Structure 1
Amino acid sequence: MAYSRARRRIVAAALPLAVITAMVGLPGTANALSTDVVISGVYGGGGNNLAVFKNDYIELANLSDSPVSVAGWSVQYASAAGAVFQMTNLTGSIPAHGKYLVQQAAGAGGTVALPTPDATGSVPMSATSGVVALVTAQIPLVGCGITCSTAPNVKDLVGYGATANVETLAAPGLTNTTADARSGAMIDTDNNSVDFTSGVPKATNSAGTTVSAGDPGDPGDPTPGTVRIHDIQGTGRISPIVGTSVTNVPGIVTAVRTTGSARGYWFQDPTADADPLSSEGIFVFTGTTTPAVVAGDSVLATGRVTEFRPATGAQSLTEIGGPVNTIKLTSGNPLPAPVPVVFPDAYTKTGSLEAQPLEPNSYVLDWLETHEGMRISIDQATRLVSPVNTQFGELWVTLKPGQNPTPRGGTIYKSYDDQNSGRLMIASLIGAPAANVGSTLAAGTAGPLDYQSFGGYALMATQLGTITEGGLKKQMVLPPKKAGDLSVATYNVENLAATNPDSKFAKLAQAVVSNLGSPDILALEEIQDNNGATDNGVVAADQTIAKFIAAIQAAGGPTYDWRSINPNNDTDGGEPGGNIRQVFLFNPARTTFVDRPGGDANTAVQVVRARPTSNQVSLSVSPGRIDPTSDAWPSSRKPLVGEFLYDGNKQLFVVANHFNSKGGDYPLSAAVQPPVRSSEVQRQKQAAEVNEFISDLNTKSAGRARAIVLGDLNDYQFSPAVQTLTGNGTVLKTLIDTLPADQRYSYIFDGNSQVLDHIAVSPAIKGYSYGVVHINAEFSDQASDHDPQIVRILTGCDVDPLPTRCLPGSPVVDVP
């Protein structure tokens, strides 16, 4: 696969690699980042003047997927300057992704009780500055001075206010009306100042009961504050008041996200200001807590203004986060009228977008930014340029139907400079029916505008226009016309493992037989080891391959034989534990595999002359791998090379590839334009390795060697990597370039029909027919996210001029 389809809020994606690495194999000390239990909240103003809560509290959170026992643990408190800790013992456990509440001393005031505590102490905590430690023992901390965060048995520590006993820097000081709570997605960076923000006290126990000092009905002040949503959004991409707390911001709830770890609600000020550059809508992020509001509620929101950047290089989404308090005033209010989407011609300007003024009438990305968080609508019929992902309710449409259309209804991606400015992502909050590329979405889709990890801006639909299926048909390949023809195909089967359901094998197998016409040689990418993503040292894939071959037989295909090389464990990238690799399937009734022993994960295949002056060449090992120990291949698949014979004793060399993915590249909607393509560096190295091998083959054979280089190259036909691979067309010819420009695609991402898979041939292959077989990328019921490709080497074409049947053409036809 080219891109990981991780959802919006993946905590590790926002962390530097060094931090992620540090989170593995944690000892029980606070200076090692915790992935299970952390202190999530502290409050010391209970019962004091103006306080709502009667008691102080300490709240813990379990960040893991399993319950964690805290029996025998304790929480301990010391004053800001003190060295004496007071201890409260803990019992029981914390549910997976749950909370645990420790109630402390009561004051004389306050009107609201905490939720039923899970542990009770009598420690009077400071309402301004202090230190709280989570300890995996019930022994008081003594003698650790201002370095208690690294003391034995200390699991986590937070110093707040004017204290030096902290993790890196202190969390904000408290007041009688504010508590410190761990921010956003509960990331533990071992820096109290970063990890905690102050806000309205809110406590949750292990039963999931939450009470807030500002809940509706509590004595929170229902008076709107002075800050409005357009003040927060400002007239640029970054809020002019980012990092500050805002109180009782008014607006009407327009939509609610109730699932996942990015829950919250969008709300909008129905009274717009006069500035068209300042958005009137914003998202209120509540984390894993489902907000107790519905569309049409008039609310006051209190929290901290943040800029959430969902992926490296992405633009940021202005939000209200961090402990959030919402006061509901009234219900059933009319929603603000949506703004019809009207895109300018150009997609984006260049340079740092955040440093430049917004020009919504000139650039699509600027138009979208000025409407971030607001209700927008599509008031015209549009065409789907991606299939509907029914799992997430996602689809892409084009608002410019004449912009680079494919014959089958998509939008072709033809260069780095043409991002297709008519594309818009819709992520339906009410689900979406299955539909294929070319289907029609009627007018009437509306909802707030969000910013997502990969697709960038997305209309979060609360109402979806009717989708009418366009009748797109899957394609097929006609069988060879002559016995001497040889068909060779490439197919990325998307993490196929023996543990997958039989239905996936059956669907892929039926495509091999019915749509690809049972190719004589089939190069497969993403074949996983026998137990799939289970990471237990297994690297063999014989069970996976045998199951696939049996499924092809059951579908009416031939009994394929196969060759491959097992990778070293956890070295070739892909899904962790999956050990993906390339595999040759071949029909022994149509072609012969030439076995030459000695190939393994670490041995480099070489081109060998029969004699020093001979043009007859062979492989040193077959199957073999191209330079597997080179620095081009870390965490990536190594090319698989095989030697075949067909049509008598004609020799054919096949190189099956799966270059490294585009993971790490900036999205098309990146904050800096043009987007950084960091993954391209490694692919160019990989392309150079394969080019060198083919060049050696051509040189030693005096240009007579027939070679096919194919597979998932994870790059476009116009990319530097593909140009390096082919030597700008002098060493190999990429067959995708023989198709009409509007048909050059095998994959769809972000609504762009694009090329990632390739077949290239050496000059010695003169007569062929070639095509992309569209059976997956455009369809909701896809068996893989890639379309296969096929080339048929035509017999009797080693003459000049070429006979008519040897001229380039396509064996691919539409299914009747």
Structure 2
Amino acid sequence: MPSSAVPRTPAVAALVAAALAAGLLAGSTTAGAAENGPVRIHDVQGTTRVSPLVGGQVTDVPGIVTGVRTYGSKGFWFQDPEGDGDPATSEGVFVYTGSAPEVAVGDSVLVSGTVGEYVPGGAASGNQSLTQIARPAVTVLSQGNAVPAPVTVSAWSVPSAYAPEGDAATGGSINGLTLRPRAYALDYWESLEGTNIRVGTSRVVGATNAHAELWVTVKPWEHPNLRGGTVYGSYEAQNTGRLKIQSLTPLAEQPFPSANTGDIVAGVTEGPLDFNQYGGYTLTARTLGTVVDRGLERERTRPQRSGELAVATYNVENLDPSDPQEKFDALARGVVENLASPDILALEEIQDDNGAKNDGTVSAGQTVAKFTEAIRAAGGPAYEWRSVDPENNKDGGEPGGNIRQVFLFNPERVSFTDRGAGDATTATGVVRERGRAALTHSPGRIDPANAAWESSRKPLAGEFSFRGRPVVVIANHFGSKGGDESLVSHHQPPNRSSEAKRLLQAQSVNAFVKEVLKADRRADVLVVGDINDFEFSGTTQALTAGGALRAAITSLPRSERYSYVYDGNSQVLDQILTSPSIGAFAYDSVHINAEFADQNSDHDPQVLRFRP
């Protein structure tokens, strides 16, 4: 077996050292097992997230094979059919073989090997670890045995409290805390790590993805929305009933079902509970229920009226000319049919003319031309466009892709006020002209030299005129959440390091809006785009500081506030914020992508209509 089967990251090494110091590593047995007989699986798992035997050898641990995985991290799960009656100790564990296991479900086995704590994604990810036995020697005693009865997971078995507060002495980690599965959801799931579990008929809250996974909830009443999802509304209101489901059957043998949010997985889904890098606790299904299509339809917003200006934002997910025409056509239909051809459309993730090819190309004229032509072919307006090309590889995103924001506008409804277009490094400013605020560069970038925008998309400001009334629109694509720990981190609450950059970015945009309002307190300003943060986040609070802006999505009922679905949580990433002069407006988060297995983008567009 490869040495990486038992990772010796600094975090795990520290755990081993602590266990040795405490006298918890005693060869093949724990203190209790030495008195009562050979090591069993519950001795390996222990009553915390870290095995008391980590780094040690175990010999002839008995159990029944409950699941075999022949792809990805190859190995098998086995479970003690007897157990110790302690709800904090799991009776199942994963055996990492590294190659296709030579066992079958129902085999009675004895396993010898090294106990490890594998951290999916590495220690820097902050993920919890998966207790496993590696470098195994396996003896099959008999075959065709009954699989240990599954633990039925239901709405009543998962606690409503999410996690204990981490131990301050260990940097907020919950690794060393004794599990309390009747008190906390994360402790409950951890107490079942490796155990054969079962869920009954459940609602899908995260559509089937490209990795053949979906998310269900075992708590149908937990923060639901009318379309079937589960809304993530605050850091303190975690959705404890979410559970990821994968199939143990290779896709070549049995395709994974396609399901949208709101569909039902009917019947029994059963298999071992795994923990992996993406999403954490995962039911790896030997038996998968049947997907029942509930007929979720893509939303259509109403058309704007003659006196209304419709401003929209849409992250089109790394669009470039090498994408198939089908993607352009589908996105175009979304603009025309679902967004009702807004007057102004801010696009995020428009790539340069050769996409990810990293050859210094920064222009995006071909990308935009292909998209606007697709919109026209779909029956939409002949949009014109404005943008500012970035410096090569200075705005983050896919290397060579040079993503940027682009304004599309319908010249039959609105005009663009061109004022000496800026370049990638020239900042637009604000002047007072004839009693109104005006931009020194339109289109122009806001504060591009600010360190807050290093390796990130710089905001694009544009000045428009609608029925003689000036409107300033600022298109944004804030820094991503990359580097943040997941909701199932061993740190509770998780570390959200990416927020620091978005906070600075929000402060930069807020300061610019205040400059506009200082020049004209009646100015109509809209800050739009992929903010990459929640409506309740510090980022949004910084954007709205001092009353400069209002987060328009908060005008919707709480159950309708979402633009993205991540790990079964329907949540806000895309926003439109308005200046005080924009009093009455109609806001719509138009759900056409995030809830569906068949997506044209991973984001839902947002649209706001008002009368300037």
| Number of the residue aligned with 1:629 | 449
Contact 2:80 2:92 in 1 (8 A): yes
Greater mean alpha carbon deviation, residues 407-416 or residues 710-719: 407-416
What is the Cα deviation at residue 322 of structure 1? 4.7
CA distance in 1, matches of 2:259, 2:379: 29
What is the Cα deviation at residue 538 of structure 1? 2.2
| Number of the residue aligned with 2:298 | 474
| Number of the residue aligned with 1:296 | 106
Greater mean alpha carbon deviation, residues 586-595 or residues 248-257: 248-257
Q: Which fold has the larger relative contact order, with Cα–Cα distance below 8 Å and residues 6 or more apart in sequence? A: 2
The structure with the larger Rg is: 1
Given residue 687 of structure 1, which amino acid in structure 2 is its aligned partner?
A: A
Match among 376, 388, 391 for residue 208 of structure 2: 388
1:664 equivalent to 2:474? Answer no
CA distance in 2, matches of 1:593, 1:323: 66
Kindly tell me: are residues 560 and 720 of structure 1, through their superposed partners in 2, closer, same or farther at Cα, counting changes over 3 Å?
same
Trace 1:158-197 onto structure 2 (pairs within 5 A): 182-184=2-4
Trace 1:72-471 onto structure 2 (pairs within 5 A): 182-184=2-4, 226-260=38-72, 262-287=73-98, 289-311=99-121, 312-320=124-132, 322-341=134-153, 342-351=157-166, 352-379=173-200, 381-389=201-209, 391-430=210-249, 431-471=255-295
CA distance in 1, matches of 2:126, 2:366: 41
CA distance in 2, matches of 1:527, 1:660: 16
SS in 1 for 2:163: coil
SS in 1 for 2:182: coil
| Number of the residue aligned with 1:725 | 543
| Number of the residue aligned with 1:643 | 463
Contact 1:384 1:396 in 2 (8 A): yes
Match among 362, 385, 392 for residue 569 of structure 1: 392
| Number of the residue aligned with 1:103 | none
Given residue 526 of structure 1, which amino acid in structure 2 is its aligned partner?
A: E
Given residue 101 of structure 2, which amino acid in structure 1 is its aligned partner?
A: P
What is the Cα deviation at residue 595 of structure 1? 1.8
Contact 1:660 1:683 in 2 (8 A): yes
Contact 1:657 1:711 in 2 (8 A): yes
Corresponding residue pairs, total? 572
SS in 2 for 1:548: helix
Kindly tell me: are residues 494 and 269 of structure 1, through their superposed partners in 2, closer, same or farther at Cα, counting changes over 3 Å?
same
Kindly tell me: are residues 485 and 307 of structure 1, through their superposed partners in 2, closer, same or farther at Cα, counting changes over 3 Å?
same
Contact 2:214 2:259 in 1 (8 A): no
Given residue 392 of structure 1, which amino acid in structure 2 is its aligned partner?
A: H
| Number of the residue aligned with 1:69 | none
CA distance in 1, matches of 2:103, 2:354: 44
Give a deviation string over 1:81-108, Cα, whole Å, max 9, x none. xxxxxxxxxxxxxxxxxxxxxxxxxxxx
Trace 1:552-701 onto structure 2 (pairs within 5 A): 552-610=375-433, 615-647=435-467, 649-701=468-520
Percent identity of equivalent pairs:
53
| Number of the residue aligned with 1:758 | 575
In the superposition, the TM-score normalised over structure 2's length comes to: 0.89
Give a deviation string over 1:64-121, Cα, whole Å, max 9, x none. xxxxxxxxxxxxxxxxxxxxxxxxxxxxxxxxxxxxxxxxxxxxxxxxxxxxxxxxxx
CA distance in 1, matches of 2:174, 2:234: 21
CA distance in 1, matches of 2:56, 2:276: 24
CA distance in 2, matches of 1:774, 1:599: 34
Contact 2:590 2:606 in 1 (8 A): yes
Gaps of 5+ in 1: 1-180, 195-224, 796-816
What is the Cα deviation at residue 575 of structure 1? 2.2
| Number of the residue aligned with 2:523 | 705
Give a deviation string over 1:694-715, Cα, whole Å, max 9, x none. 00000012x1211110001011
What is the Cα deviation at residue 689 of structure 1? 0.2
Kindly tell me: are residues 285 and 579 of structure 1, through their superposed partners in 2, closer, same or farther at Cα, counting changes over 3 Å?
farther
SS in 1 for 2:510: helix
CA distance in 1, matches of 2:300, 2:582: 24
Kindly tell me: are residues 320 and 410 of structure 1, through their superposed partners in 2, closer, same or farther at Cα, counting changes over 3 Å?
closer
CA distance in 1, matches of 2:343, 2:108: 66
SS in 2 for 1:547: helix
Match among 526, 534, 537 for residue 349 of structure 2: 526
Contact 1:229 1:249 in 2 (8 A): yes
1:749 equivalent to 2:566? Answer yes
Contact 1:313 1:672 in 2 (8 A): no
What is the Cα deviation at residue 723 of structure 1? 0.8
CA distance in 1, matches of 2:516, 2:336: 33
| Number of the residue aligned with 2:606 | 789
Kindly tell me: are residues 306 and 537 of structure 1, through their superposed partners in 2, closer, same or farther at Cα, counting changes over 3 Å?
farther
Given residue 297 of structure 1, which amino acid in structure 2 is its aligned partner?
A: D
What is the Cα deviation at residue 692 of structure 1? 0.3
| Number of the residue aligned with 2:22 | none
| Number of the residue aligned with 1:93 | none
Contact 1:317 1:450 in 2 (8 A): no
What is the Cα deviation at residue 425 of structure 1? 1.7
Given residue 641 of structure 1, which amino acid in structure 2 is its aligned partner?
A: A
CA distance in 1, matches of 2:269, 2:2: 37
SS in 2 for 1:672: coil
Contact 1:238 1:316 in 2 (8 A): no
Give a deviation string over 1:236-267, Cα, whole Å, max 9, x none. 1100011123334332221122223x222212
Gaps of 5+ in 2: 15-36, 167-172, 250-254
**As a proportion of its length, which structure holds more helix?**
2
What is the Cα deviation at residue 485 of structure 1? 2.3
What is the Cα deviation at residue 503 of structure 1? 1.3
CA distance in 1, matches of 2:309, 2:248: 49
SS in 1 for 2:132: strand
Contact 1:599 1:625 in 2 (8 A): yes
Given residue 751 of structure 1, which amino acid in structure 2 is its aligned partner?
A: G
Greater mean alpha carbon deviation, residues 290-299 or residues 508-517: 290-299
CA distance in 1, matches of 2:104, 2:319: 42
Contact 1:570 1:579 in 2 (8 A): yes
Contact 2:50 2:131 in 1 (8 A): no
CA distance in 1, matches of 2:69, 2:377: 45
